[in-house]
Every structure is written in C-alpha cells, then in structure tokens.
Amino acid sequence: MYIVGLNGSPNKEGNTHYLLRQVLDICKSKGARTEIVHAGEAVDSAQWPFCTVCSAPCSGKCFENTELEKVYDKLKEADGVLIGSPVYFGSVSAQLKAFFDKTRKSRGEKAFVNLAGAAVTVGASKYGGQETTIKAIHDMMLVQGMIIVGDGHVDYDAGHHGVSAQRPAENDVHAVKRIPVLAERMVEVAKAIKDAGLRVRKE
C-alpha cells in the first residue's frame, strides 16, 4: 500500500504535520509506504496559484512539469490519502483549497475515484471549527469520487469524522487517542480497495 499525507498547512512542521506524521507512522508500521507532501509548496510551483478556469475541460497547462503535477501524480498512484488542515475561519486553509481547485484535470480523468481519504484538523480552541473543516475536506473528496474514511474501527468504536485537535496537538489527549484508530481504519480500507482492484489507474 501507498498512503500519502497531504499537509494543507503553510507551517510545514506545525500541529497539522504532527497529526499527519503520527497517523502515517502507524500506517507504516503496518506495512504501508508513506510520504508527506505540502500543498502550499506544490501550489506555489504552478504558473499561478489559483484556478482561473483558463480552459474547459482543464488542460493542466498551468502546472505542467511542476511540483504540483508531481504531487497529483503521487495521488494517482496512491491507495490512500490523509489530508490535514488547520482551521481558518471555520474551513480549510487557502493553500489546501487552491490545491483542490486545480484538480479539475484529475477529476476529468477520474484519477482519484475510489482513493481512500481521511482527514485531520487542528484549531486554536476546543470548539474552533474542526468539524466544519473536516466536512469541507470530505466535500472535496466526494467531488473526486473518493471513499471517505472516518476514525472508527471494529476493535475500538464506530468513530466520528476524523482526528480533531486543539493546538498544541500533542497535548490534546482525546485527539492523540484517536490517532491509532484512524490509522487502523485507513490501512484496513486502503488494503481492501487495493485487493479488490478498485483503483483504476489510466496512463
């Protein structure tokens, strides 16, 4: 299995990265190949950072031969993606939104269909918009035909939307407890998708 962590935070080593790393380390211990990529860096490599719908259908011209194209290619090959974002005004970061706005070409190719997707978020306060941020991530996944994974597992409980933390994330006892549950579920679903051959990868 290949599971990618997509860091939507402009802070490469902050709270969002901490949650992504913790989940992916457990996935790796269960046999998955893992990697973290940074949405902001990828978007910055494109000709311009925001989608302007310069062509329909999308040609992908603005990010040809860039880091952004390489990241999209990684997601095309992945069996699962773990998406993280800090809470900005009750939703995802601008970097993550811009990253997904530019996936119109991938959507046309059905490149992410049946890709297992899970989410982690961090807010400044206990009730700081974490769930609305996760739901925004879920909406982006649904538009791509992905399979949403929550933090529920038969060995634990039925779960919820994903891992939601209050910063500093490592001090959020409840969020830390949900990390292994989300990791177990991600590996379980990604393996099932891979074994069933549901990820159709087109050249």
What's residue 202's pLDDT? 58
Q: CA 64 to CA 47: how far, in whole Å?
A: 9
Domain boundaries, the chain: 5-196
- Average pLDDT of each block of 10 consecutive residues along the chain (203 residues)? 97 97 98 98 94 93 96 97 98 98 96 98 96 98 98 96 98 98 98 92 59
Q: pTM for the whole thing?
A: 0.96
Q: What's the CATH fold of domain 5-196?
A: Rossmann fold (3.40.50)
Q: CA 159 to CA 150: how far, in whole Å?
A: 7
